[in-house]
């Protein structure tokens, strides 16, 4: 079969379940495609598969074996070996990384809603981080790291290997309004040497220091 005819045949079969393979100048072998070749994600299409939810997409840990078994990270992010088809009923269909990441994004929105400036999170790694809108130019809005199964929202690690970040209460902020410290608060310490010390340091500097310490105290950051 000439190259021209082979290309025409490939075009005709494009998008079907068949693939074209030249075997001689007179004929071409047209085998059925293996729809599982190279598949890394699967969608559960039944409510009968234990440890898996119908309509949800999962990561494969490895390809299927000759008996039609695939190894999947299940709901608890532990490995389960399960048949693609049980009896005559399919349990899973091939899916894609894009569909898996879109699923993670939807779950993130369901848990956190719109993430706002200064929202705080305890990440799956136990690190405490704060989302700051001013840093948006540094990182992409969404970033999925495939080999670590991590999903970032800008610099915030929201998801890692089946674990989600915990959204924390917003940090309490205390600001010194610039008033005269001795005239407005803590008057009981402003006598004798204490008053002179405050005057030498400066009332504004003292007020800002007190505000900073109160902020730490209210946010449970004082040992």
The predicted structure's pLDDT at residue 187: 46
In sequence order, which ranges of the chain are alpha helices (DSSP H)? 3-13, 97-112, 181-184, 192-201, 203-218
Q: Which of 147, 146, 149, 153 is nearest to 162 (CA)?
A: 149
For the chain, state the CA radius of gyration.
Answer: 30
The predicted structure's pLDDT at residue 221: 72
Burial of 148 (C-beta count, 10 Å sphere; 0-12/13-18/19+):
exposed
The predicted structure's pLDDT at residue 184: 46
Residues contacting 9, CB < 8 A, separation 6+: 1, 20, 28, 30
The predicted structure's pLDDT at residue 188: 47
Separation between Cα atoms, residue 77 and residue 58, nearest integer Å:
9
Threshold 0.85, pTM exceeds: no
Those residues of the chain that have pLDDT short of 50 are: 1, 184-188
Q: Sort strands 156-160 and 21-22 into parallel, antiparallel or unpaired.
A: unpaired
Residues constituting the chain: 223
The predicted structure's pLDDT at residue 202: 76
Tokens of 220: 């449970």
Report pLDDT digits (tens) over 32-47.
Answer: 566 677 889 999 999 9
Burial letters for 33-55: b for 16+ Cβ neighbours within 10 Å, e otherwise?
eeebeebebbbbeeeebeebeee
* Cα distances (angstroms) measured from residue 174 to each of 2, 37, 193, 223: 79, 58, 27, 19
Report pLDDT digits (tens) over 109-149.
Answer: 999 999 999 899 999 999 999 999 888 888 899 999 999 99
């Amino acid at each position: 079969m000439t190259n021209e005819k082979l290309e025409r045949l490939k075009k005709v079969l494009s998008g079907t379940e068949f693939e074209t393979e030249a075997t001689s100048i007179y004929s071409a072998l047209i085998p059925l495609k293996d729809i599982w070749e190279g598949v890394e994600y699967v969608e559960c299409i039944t409510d009968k598969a234990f440890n898996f939810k119908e309509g949800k997409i999962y990561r494969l840990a490895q390809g299927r074996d000759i008996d039609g078994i695939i190894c999947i990270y299940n709901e608890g992010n532990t490995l389960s070996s399960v048949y693609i088809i049980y009896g005559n009923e399919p349990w899973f269909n091939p899916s894609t990384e894009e569909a898996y990441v879109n699923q993670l994004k939807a779950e993130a929105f369901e848990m956190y809603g719109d993430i706002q400036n200064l929202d705080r999170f305890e990440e799956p790694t136990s690190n405490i981080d704060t989302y700051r809108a001013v840093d948006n130019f540094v990182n992409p809005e969404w970033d999925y790291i495939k080999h670590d199964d991590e999903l970032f929202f800008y610099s915030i690690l929201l998801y890692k290997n089946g674990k989600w970040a915990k959204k924390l209460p917003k940090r309490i902020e205390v600001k010194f309004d610039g008033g005269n410290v001795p005239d407005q608060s803590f008057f009981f310490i402003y006598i004798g040497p204490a008053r002179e010390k405050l005057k030498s340091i400066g009332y504004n500097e003292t007020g800002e220091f007190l505000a900073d310490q109160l902020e730490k105290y209210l946010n449970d950051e004082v040992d």
